[in-house]
Amino acid sequence: MYKKFMQIALNEAKNIKYDVPVAAVVVYQNNVLSVCSNRKEKDIDLTAHAEILAIKDAQKKLNTYILNNCDIYVTLEPCPMCMWAILSARFKNLYFSSYDTNYGAAGSRINLAQIKNSKINIKGGILEECGDKLLNDFFKELR
């Protein structure tokens, strides 16, 4: 089931034109609740990461800041800012595609879940080749 939702995130990331191609999908009761992509460059807002935008949208739709009955799917392992927001929202599961050995805060570089003493389930590497290709193509074109 998680590959289906990750594919939705990857498809969203493919449509990004000016930002790093990262997208996030929030799922509630096996239904897509929110789909957002990076808008940092577009909005000139360093907090406009896909995860932050998806979390805000889901919280608004459910009228709560606690998302403990939700899962989040991200095309790139969350950075510390996003990971802390994911943990604070109390997501049940975090699924991501590509690992980020530079800034990943779900186990690659650091694991903020250990610091926050969270019960979140984390699974990385879902459709990893697709996520890696998307990022590699973006950065090749940028250079």
pLDDT of residue 143: 63
Residue 40: CB atoms within 10 Å = 18
Q: Which helix (H) or strand (E) holds 96?
A: strand 93-98
pLDDT in tens, the chain (143 residues): 789 999 999 999 999 988 999 999 999 999 999 999 999 999 999 999 999 999 999 999 999 999 999 999 999 999 999 999 999 999 999 999 999 999 999 999 999 999 888 899 999 999 999 999 999 999 887 76
List of residues 6+ apart from 82 with CB closer than 8 A: 49, 51, 52, 74, 105
- Distance of alpha carbon 49 from alpha carbon 11, whole angstroms: 17
Cα distance between residue 126 and residue 3, in whole Å: 7
Active-site annotation, residues: 51
Query: Which residues sit opposite 121 in a β-bridge?
Result: 93
Per-residue pLDDT at 2: 84
Write down the pLDDT at residue 141.
Answer: 79
The predicted pLDDT at position 13 comes to 97
**Spatial contact of 97 and 76, defined as CB atoms under 8 Å apart:** yes
Rounded to a whole number, what is the distance in angstroms from the first to the last CA of the chain?
36
pTM given for the model:
0.96
Alpha-carbon gap, residue 15 to 61, rounded angstroms: 24
> Burial level of 109, CB count in 10 A (0-12/13-18/19+)?
middle
